[in-house]
Structure 1
């Protein structure tokens, strides 16, 4: 266990079979105590890296592996393309925050060249070890990972969702495994009904636009941007929708992979119905037009969303739809009513709300996933209350634990 132990962020695990296989290699961004936190150093040798998806808490530290090793990197095609997009932006942010990259500059290019692309349910053979990627229903290209060797079966859930969304079908679950490594992000609560949330969002958007305001939806580039624009275009095509920031490029990438989207024809239609922002001049035009604005960054750590936030009129509103890490502007705005820019605290004058459009499994889905996988052992990771989740699983009869970084688990 190199990361994501009793925390959300820096997911990274080493599986020792006849090969050393790294599952994910992420970073923890914008933590309250430190700008960025990284996984523990891997043991000597990494034969392969398998990526569950391209969010930075799962892929953001990947280049560091190539400071010392040159493993193959296995992932779905959209994960590779989105990882390249986000890693370049991440490097820029890290340099701005700290002045130095935590890996060699040349390692980014090495990592990108090392990708070996795989489809869902395709068998990857590494010596006596076989690996399979399965749809996780989280973001485009997201995967659960099954590792098999010597009759033992390990399942890593990655981030997943067991119910359908606008963009994705529910996650696949492998049955009867020896060890399950499962995310625990929302082990303490369930999410509201998805259709009710969509209705609330669309209704509020209509009210704000009629009043002459803008509805600002800070959104992650991958997954959430595509989900939100699809909801708006499906239910309220008459409302102008602008997409800004990295979500534009991410949406173009997603459009190119029909096998990794629930209905790519509809998504292409929805994306074409939106307007994309190209420069600062257009941003001023956007603000003068009552509309919905979907923009990065989802946690307001930079990106065009911060620029919009500081210029909204009093008829406008901000709605967060995803998780905001403690210490980020998004978390501070939701909980304390302020954001920070250039060391100054700013209190926006518009209402701020939250609708839970999470792409993660809620509490009931987490328990359902464990029961379907029927594991001999469960390791709970990627959550703020992994220990509590493990204790509840024990009460259900499962051999469950929540290890700390550096711990080993025998299969």
Structure 2
């Protein structure tokens, strides 16, 4: 509401100011009214002529009925009516002033309440974030507890298995101590031994002397426990001599990357080297695994703990309860965590599909993981283990902690299977070390992941990554590096810690859990791995998703197919000052490979599937491939082929067209290659 009397008073003031005594003095009607309001009111009461003129000249619009009514009263010829109208106007004015005061107080109170409400909302959001973070931490802790329970249950069962105990004891007794390291660290591939050290005696010798038997007899006794003699009723085995009875058949990962599995046979013995999962949704078994399972399988030798090489092993154990699982001590300790994670993901997928009426059965569950852990035998590199008509020997292969190549022997024949292999030193592991037992083998089964690539030196690639991260961090942005949980994440964290100690780093998801395992496995060595601490810490979700404003995030999955990397990408990709650096192999159908294509096409967003929900993420951040491959490139593979000097070479774990071109290069180098498929036979 407004002061209704004011227009009448302004009009009266204009008339008064037009009188000869006041005219020409520059008075303003509005200002005059404000300063001499009572004078103008008294004039209206005492000067009827003033009211007569205003009744004649004062203009009132049709949309001002209240003003018209008031003007009729205060401009009346009757003085009493005028006085009554003025009193009424003053009362209305006082009420209007009171209303304005009340409205002001009400607005102030409303503003105070709104401020308190916003504060309460902020506290509620903070509490909710803290609650979600606590829930996430509890979920991670429950997951770690479940994994630990799985391993403890399996270890308890292993303690009652004489074959496993005999295998572990034999490994300890045959290991040659290295005086330079003091014992435990000789298992670390970063410190490979070139051969037995002069004057070093394996524990087997004094143990046999204490037992009063020859060392060979003690080994034979333990070997008999590990591999009991066949019953008399069993059919006689085919004698293995210098004739070619060693047979090799890749049944997974032959001309593709993933699902690695090689069947090796001789006499009556059949073993697998690796049994991995093929990438995809859902993950699948090795492509021709039924070919291997058409007969007995006595053991699986696992080269390393990546799921594309070991992920199918628990499913094998369910079908083959007496299956022996042979791997290095490091791989044996890492596999349970990888298996448990795979079982969890497959279980979640199965439940999700059932909810929507789909059909997706998990390949195995937690009980299969426990059974697989129980069957594991730790065999350090350099020691020979007999499996029926075959013997196997592991040797350091670089790639990741615990990775090994395999020498399989039957009589005078030998096949060398590299697994994933690399020859350069990394932060967490040295390169491969080819043993004398592998040289001039009958067949070299060699991985060919990067057989078409000539990588820059590792130093150059590390410098490029460090420079790119520094640029983003200096500009105030965040860097997301999706990475494989095992090997790549730890490598990246150590690079950041070594070269950019001032840049905060968050490790998230399974990458953080495996990092803890790396530290625990190497804590008793002279060169323990120290990754967490100082600038490198565990991420705390969901809080860090928004509160960690500048630094590096290393998390799974390495191909952006799921996991915390998708949540981080949803925050970081829309930020123009931030970056996402892919660091490893990207399957053609993965979200990571699709992201690179979209960036080339300058697409506006990336679509990803996050636990069954499709999300469109704006693309404004810097996106690049900063590859730190842990595989040998073309030159590295040629060096391996030269060093082994096998009579024939078979290429696996690569793409067919690249293998075909690389086989020609090997031929020019003087090597003989064979088709990827069945090899050997009588």
TM-score (norm 2): 0.56
How big is each residue's C-alpha offset from its partner over 1:169-209, in whole Å with a ceiling of 9 and x where there is no partner?
Answer: 11012311111100000111111121112112112222211
Aligned to 1:308: 568
Q: How many Å separate the matches in 2 of 1:24 and 1:317?
A: 36
Say if 2:277 and 2:283, in contact at 8 Å, map to a contact too: no
Say if 2:607 and 2:614, in contact at 8 Å, map to a contact too: no
2:343 is aligned, of 70, 91, 103, to: 91
Aligned to 2:636: 365
Calculate the aligned-residue CA RMSD, in Å.
2.1
Tell me whether 1:255 sits opposite 2:519 in the alignment: yes
Question: Could you tell me how far 1:37 is from its partner in structure 2?
Answer: 5.1
Say if 2:275 and 2:311, in contact at 8 Å, map to a contact too: yes
Q: Which moved more, 1:372-381 or 1:306-315?
A: 306-315
Say if 2:545 and 2:571, in contact at 8 Å, map to a contact too: no
Matches within 5 A, 1:241-252: 241-252=505-516
Say if 1:183 and 1:383, in contact at 8 Å, map to a contact too: yes
Say if 1:215 and 1:317, in contact at 8 Å, map to a contact too: yes
Aligned to 1:47: 298
Tell me whether 1:323 sits opposite 2:585 in the alignment: yes
Q: How many Å separate the matches in 1 of 2:523 and 2:539?
A: 28
Aligned to 2:68: none
Tell me whether 1:16 sits opposite 2:265 in the alignment: yes
1:57 is aligned, of 298, 308, 311, to: 308
Q: How many Å separate the matches in 1 of 2:583 and 2:260?
A: 22
Q: How many Å separate the matches in 1 of 2:642 and 2:524?
A: 26
Please give the secondary structure, in 2, of the residue aligned with 1:310: helix
Q: How many Å separate the matches in 1 of 2:349 and 2:489?
A: 25
The count of aligned residue pairs is 402
Please give the secondary structure, in 1, of the residue aligned with 2:370: helix
Q: Which segments of 5 or more consecutive residues in structure 2 lack a partner in the other structure? A: 1-249, 351-359, 600-605
Question: Could you tell me how far 1:128 is from its partner in structure 2?
Answer: 4.1
Task: Assess, with a 3 A threshold, how the Cα gap between structure 1 residues 326 and 388 changes in structure 2: closer, same or farther.
Answer: same
Aligned to 1:108: 369
1:392 is aligned, of 641, 649, 665, to: 665
Question: Could you tell me how far 1:67 is from its partner in structure 2?
Answer: 2.6
Matches within 5 A, 1:161-176: 161-173=422-434, 174-176=438-440
Q: How many Å separate the matches in 2 of 1:259 and 1:78?
A: 13
Q: How many Å separate the matches in 2 of 1:303 and 1:193?
A: 31
1:186 is aligned, of 437, 450, 456, to: 450
Q: How many Å separate the matches in 1 of 2:413 and 2:676?
A: 20
Q: How many Å separate the matches in 1 of 2:278 and 2:577?
A: 35
TM-score (norm 1): 0.92
Aligned to 2:253: 4
Q: How many Å separate the matches in 1 of 2:570 and 2:456?
A: 30
Tell me whether 1:36 sits opposite 2:280 in the alignment: no
Q: How many Å separate the matches in 1 of 2:366 and 2:472?
A: 45
Q: Which moved more, 1:208-217 or 1:250-259?
A: 250-259
Higher strand share: 1
Question: Could you tell me how far 1:350 is from its partner in structure 2?
Answer: 0.9
Q: Which has the higher contact order (CA 8 A, sep 6+)?
A: 1
Say if 2:327 and 2:378, in contact at 8 Å, map to a contact too: yes
Task: Assess, with a 3 A threshold, how the Cα gap between structure 1 residues 346 and 410 changes in structure 2: closer, same or farther.
Answer: farther
Aligned to 2:645: 374
Question: Could you tell me how far 1:97 is from its partner in structure 2?
Answer: 4.2
Matches within 5 A, 1:127-142: 127-142=388-403
Q: How many Å separate the matches in 1 of 2:486 and 2:430?
A: 16
Please give the secondary structure, in 2, of the residue aligned with 1:16: strand
Structure number, greater radius of gyration: 2
1:280 is aligned, of 542, 562, 566, to: 542
Task: Assess, with a 3 A threshold, how the Cα gap between structure 1 residues 10 and 321 changes in structure 2: closer, same or farther.
Answer: same
Say if 2:347 and 2:365, in contact at 8 Å, map to a contact too: no
Q: How many Å separate the matches in 2 of 1:8 and 1:104?
A: 25
Say if 1:25 and 1:39, in contact at 8 Å, map to a contact too: no
Task: Assess, with a 3 A threshold, how the Cα gap between structure 1 residues 36 and 149 changes in structure 2: closer, same or farther.
Answer: closer
Aligned to 2:474: 210
How big is each residue's C-alpha offset from its partner over 1:338-364, in whole Å with a ceiling of 9 and x where there is no partner?
Answer: 342223554422111011200000000
Aligned to 1:403: 676
Q: How many Å separate the matches in 1 of 2:349 and 2:664?
A: 38
How big is each residue's C-alpha offset from its partner over 1:268-323, in whole Å with a ceiling of 9 and x where there is no partner?
Answer: 1x42231112432243332x3x1111111111111111111111232110011110
